[in-house]
Amino acid sequence: MDIDVFAETSYGKIALQKISPADSDFRLYYAGWMGAANDRQVMKVSGAVFRPAKRGRFKGQLHIKVPDTERTAYVTSEEMIAFEESASQNSENEPS
């Protein structure tokens, strides 16, 4: 859990912006569409602070969720589209 895979996605980046400020050991661990199967308008993204395991096979890795640190953000599909469009425009404007 040392690498926050969700944080690299558009919905993860938006959720982290909404949740900030967050601890350096805060990791997103859940993302799912809300509503009916065909209605993909809002995504629930949750995270928490994790601490390193003290023993076992995950010793030293962020693996134990700290109680009462859970936070949730709701990200709309419109926000994701706008974020991706602005990211693609920014990458086009960067010098080669």
- Please say if the pLDDT value at position 69 is more than 90: yes
Instruction: Show Cβ contacts of residue 45 under 8 Å, excluding neighbours closer than 6 positions.
Output: 6, 11, 12, 15, 28, 30, 31, 72, 73, 74, 75
- Please say if the pLDDT value at position 83 is more than 80: yes
Nearest to 48 by CA among 60, 74, 62, 66: 66
Give the predicted TM-score (pTM) of the model.
Answer: 0.82
Whether residue 25 contacts residue 50, with contact meaning beta carbons closer than 8 Å, is answered with yes
